[in-house]
Amino acid sequence: MARQCEEILADGERCRCIPLRDSARCINHDPRPEIQAIKAEAMSKGGKVLKRVRPNLPPVEIKTVQDAIGALNETINLLRKDKIPARTGSAIIAGVSQIFKGLEYAELNNRMERLEKAVLETRPISRRV
């Protein structure tokens, strides 16, 4: 059974938050000054850490598998150098992966069409009577 904060709220219900590891109360109800200092710092940072960073990346045109591989390599290098946020890198990698799959599908489709054409050219179609 999950642990629950022991604080009783104004409406007579128990707080539903999970207590801290070394306490019977959650971060909102633990009276210790060091815990309240941590809470105050976290609240003051709220929304500041996750500001959207919009990297100024040039557009890329991906028409071949080599283009896709190049885009993946560039994105990985930008991530490793902390030039773009992980969220942006993940989105780029997901998009390039989808393009890569589309290029693979198109290539397989072209190969299939060439094979079908070659087979039809070498074998005459026989008619059953």
pLDDT tens readout for residues 1-34: 468 999 999 999 999 999 998 899 999 999 999 9
Question: What residues are paired with 8 via a beta bridge?
Answer: 14
What is the reported pLDDT for 124?
A: 66
What is the reported pLDDT for 46?
A: 65
Residue 47 clears pLDDT 60, i.e. is over it: no
Cα–Cα dist 17/9, whole Å: 12
Q: Which two tokens stand for residue 60?
A: 């890329």
Predicted confidence (pLDDT) per residue in 81-107, tens digit: 888 888 889 999 999 999 989 999 999
Pick 61 or 46 by higher pLDDT: 61
What is the reported pLDDT for 129?
A: 57
CB of 15 within 8 A of CB of 4? yes
Average pLDDT over the chain, rounded to an integer:
86
This prediction's pTM:
0.49
Give me the count of residues in the chain. 129
Considering only the C-alpha atoms of the chain, give the largest distance between any 2 of them, rounded to a whole number of Å.
95
Cα–Cα dist 89/75, whole Å: 6
Q: Which two tokens stand for residue 103?
A: 């290029």
CB of 14 within 8 A of CB of 8? yes
Residue 48 clears pLDDT 70, i.e. is over it: no
